């Protein structure tokens, strides 16, 4: 049960208990008391029915949001995969050039080391 549903349920139950307590302690005739109790019980039933309807609506909204988020996440996943694949293809020529330049630098360093006489 969500916090909001629990809160509203507690609010309704507490309100009903308070109404019954007020009716029981207020001085009135038996006929008036029964009439008030019937009115309050009808009001409580209506409130509980409204709470039930709102809970069902909330449940439907959560299900719809979950369904929509699943679609959005799948689209995002596909977009990210496409972007990554495109990026890999775009850097492929540069990667080969950089690797070749590193090999050239290593060759140049080796040639320099060979050209410089060792220290004695």
**How is the chain split into domains, by residue range?**
3-113
More confident residue, 88 or 12: 88
Structure tokens at 54: 């709102």
The C-alpha atoms of residue 8 and residue 22 are separated, in whole angstroms, by: 21
Q: What is the pLDDT of residues 32-54, one digit of tens each?
A: 777 887 888 888 889 888 888 99
Q: What pLDDT does 77 receive? A: 93
Q: What is the pLDDT of residues 69-116, one digit of tens each?
A: 999 999 999 999 999 999 888 888 788 888 888 999 999 999 888 888
Question: Which pLDDT band holds residue 118 (cuts at 50, 70, 90)?
Answer: confident
Max Cα-Cα span within the chain? 122
pTM over 0.85: no
How far, CA to CA in Å, does 62 sit from each of 3, 58, 72?
Answer: 14, 6, 15
Q: What pLDDT does 45 receive? A: 87
């Amino acid at each position: 049960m969500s916090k909001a549903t629990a809160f509203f349920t507690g609010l309704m139950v507490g309100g009903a208990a308070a109404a019954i307590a007020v009716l029981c302690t207020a001085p009135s005739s038996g006929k008036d008391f029964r009439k008030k109790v019937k009115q309050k019980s009808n009001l409580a039933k209506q409130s509980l029915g409204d709470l039930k309807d709102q809970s069902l609506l909330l449940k439907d909204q959560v299900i719809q949001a979950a369904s929509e988020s699943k679609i959005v996440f799948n689209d995002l996943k596909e977009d990210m995969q496409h972007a990554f694949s495109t990026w890999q293809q775009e850097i492929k020529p540069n990667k080969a050039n950089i690797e070749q330049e590193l090999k050239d630098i290593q060759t140049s360093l080796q040639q320099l080391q060979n050209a410089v006489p060792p220290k004695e």
